[in-house]
A and B are shown apart, each in its own frame.
Chain A
Amino acid sequence: MAKENSIIKAEAKNLNFYYADGTKALKNISLPVYEDKITALIGPSGCGKSTFLRCFNRMHDLYPGNRYDGQILLYPDNTNVLAKGVDPIEVRMRISMVFQKPNPFPKSIYENVAYGLRVRGEKSKALVDEKVEEALKGASLWNEVKDRLHDLAFNLSGGQQQRLCIARALATDPEIMLFDEPTSALDPIATVNIEELMSTLKSKLSILVVTHNMQQAARISDYTAYMYLGEMIEFDKTDKIFTNPSKKETEDYITGKFG
């Protein structure tokens, strides 16, 4: 397993997850998330990769009856994200998320990006202005929207909306950013933009991305995990997974014999 000089930012340890109806969606998953690297989760539909991703920011807490068992440790402070005593709000303030379909609020571009700061009670207009600009620049959207910050976010194109959502997730300086199939609703050009953006982003934060698209995982990620039926089949450096996987199942999936 690849260790070298990378620092581990977060780590899932023996994670099991049960949906409210009793379905066991994740089985004993362990996975490190390296600092300032992109980790991709691949696997066929229904393999639990999105479910796994959504454990990191406790999204499952929104729906009653879901149950975690195991740990997701956040370093360097060793916080177990899943612990009962840890407030999911606190977790979401440290780990932000970008969804599959662009989901801007029906508010202005500015308010969308500023929302995370508003939630944190930030009152200083100068600071919010600065953060919004910084986030929009970080999401390579600034040049396209700087003259119409107070337009409705819905007036942007799909790709721009997704970059806006990235800016919204970026504005609060998260330590980890989760991407749940961020380009599956976008056209190829917008997809390339988002991929390039993700590669730039990893200079300042750790990224965990779920993708349906194996080429995408190969293009952008440093590490790849292959999941199947709620289990982690293989995790390694992306080059290794795509050129010389150690498990037969992984190879079958990568080469398109299956899935």
Chain B
Amino acid sequence: MKKQSNKTNLVKDEKLKATRTLIRNHKRKDLLFSMLGLVMVSLILLTLLTLFIDLVIDGYPKFTFDFFTSFPSRRAANAGILSAWVGSSLVLLITFLSAVPLGVAAGVYLEEYAPKNWFADLIEINVSNLAGVPSIIYGLLALGLFVYTFKLGHSILTAGLTLGLLMLPVVIVSTREAIRSIPVAIREAAYAVGATKWQVCLHHVIQYSFGGILTGVIIGMARAIGETAPIITIGALTFIAFLPPSPITPDFPFISFEWLQSGFTVLPIQMFNWLSRPDHAFHINAAATGAVIIVLTLLMNAFAIRLRYKIRKNIKW
């Protein structure tokens, strides 16, 4: 009797040992994978950081107040990015105003209203495809459509609409994703008290997907701010020593939309322009401009993350 129990104990011991070895092996793989992941992430971050630090070091002498308040100049030392950052801001404003309502409306329609059939699938594929179309194509489209057909000129309005077009698929896709994450139960709850489709969209769908939509919008804007090709295609100026007319005028009706038709330049074009000069002093300006663009992009993304966190905090599914 005793012998047998000893034997079973032995068997148990063996089994326990085998289990422990197994777990040890599994944990080793776990560690290996996390190491690999860490290396990959560091690699990506390092590349980005090197790029950024390089720009900052090169452009360091230009990080002065004057750089932001001066127009470009033939003398590199006096040149600044005033017209470029004003231009970029105004263009982005138009981009935001045109792409967001359109994109959100399209996303809500496709998700909530459109019948789910082959046509909807076709639209879906097309929208996703649009997000991958090279931006220069958008530039050519805008040149033909906005500049020549609608005669909007080589203006801020044209540029804003062009970038809006570019951003549209991003907004549509992120809107749809955000809407899809709303549980069916919440929708049914709203319908069950007698809400119409529009009420469900307005009071629930759009509100709960707001965080996701906003994230998409800001990421789209961050992409738009760095776009150069389509803006060059529609004929942005590369040297501009004036600001667009002020939107607020001293005379009645105090608001002017003349700035929409104004010529303009944007940060990446300014940077490109300086880079193409042989004089090294201009390269410093270009590097500083590049750093400004990256900082702007970073700020926008940080803002997006913060906003998403704040909005999602209240929503738990």
Q: Interface residues, chain A, CB within 8 Å of chain B?
A: 57, 59, 62, 64, 89-90, 92-93, 96-97, 99, 101, 103-106, 115-116, 118-120, 152, 154, 165, 168-169, 172
Partner of B192, one of A64, A101, A169: A169
Q: Is the Cβ of A119 less than 8 Å from the Cβ of B189?
A: no
Cα-based distance from A78 to B155 in the complex (angstroms): 65
Question: Would A103 and B188 be within 8 Å (CB), given that A64-B115, A118-B203, A119-B199 are in contact?
Answer: yes
Cα-based distance from A239 to B191 in the complex (angstroms): 35
Residues of A within 8 A of B187 (CB): 62
Question: Would A92 and B314 be within 8 Å (CB), given that A105-B186, A105-B204 are in contact?
Answer: no
Residues of B within 8 A of A115 (CB): 190, 193, 195, 203
Q: Is the Cβ of B185 less than 8 Å from the Cβ of A116?
A: no
Cα-based distance from A104 to B316 in the complex (angstroms): 11
Residues of A within 8 A of B314 (CB): 106, 152, 154
Residue of B nearest to A106 (CB): B315
Residues of B within 8 A of A101 (CB): 185
Partner of A97, one of B192, B195, B208, B316: B192
Residues of A within 8 A of B186 (CB): 103, 105-106
Residues of A within 8 A of B192 (CB): 57, 59, 92, 96-97, 99, 169
Q: Does B196 contact A (CB under 8 A)?
A: yes
Residue of B nearest to A115 (CB): B193
Interface centre among A101, A115, A172 (most CB of B within 10 A): A115
B296 to chain A minimum Cβ distance, whole angstroms, is: 32
Residues of A within 8 A of B203 (CB): 115, 118
Cα-based distance from A116 to B194 in the complex (angstroms): 7
Question: Would A154 and B185 be within 8 Å (CB), given that A116-B194, A172-B193 are in contact?
Answer: no
Q: Is the Cβ of A59 less than 8 Å from the Cβ of B315?
A: no
Q: Is the Cβ of B196 less than 8 Å from the Cβ of A89?
A: yes
Residues of A within 8 A of B74 (CB): none
Partner of A93, one of B188, B189, B194, B316: B194
A194 to chain B minimum Cβ distance, whole angstroms, is: 17
1/0 per position for B106-144, CB-CB distance to A under 8 A?
000000000110000000000000000000000000000
Cα-based distance from A244 to B141 in the complex (angstroms): 78
Residue of B nearest to A178 (CB): B192
1/0 per position for B204-243, CB-CB distance to A under 8 A?
1000100000000000000000000000000000000000
Residue of A nearest to B191 (CB): A62
Question: Would A116 and B116 be within 8 Å (CB), given that A59-B188, A105-B204, A106-B316 are in contact?
Answer: no
Q: Is the Cβ of A105 less than 8 Å from the Cβ of B185?
A: no
A134 to chain B minimum Cβ distance, whole angstroms, is: 16
Q: Is the Cβ of B195 less than 8 Å from the Cβ of A119?
A: yes
Partner of A106, one of B116, B196, B199, B208: B208
Q: Is the Cβ of B116 less than 8 Å from the Cβ of A64?
A: yes
A98 to chain B minimum Cβ distance, whole angstroms, is: 9
Q: Kindly list the 3 A-B residue pairs having the minimum CB-CB distance in the complex, ordered from nearest.
A: A93-B194, A116-B193, A103-B185
A-B pairs with beta carbons under 8 Å apart, 13 shown? A59-B188, A64-B116, A89-B195, A89-B196, A103-B186, A105-B190, A106-B208, A115-B203, A118-B203, A119-B193, A168-B189, A168-B193, A172-B193
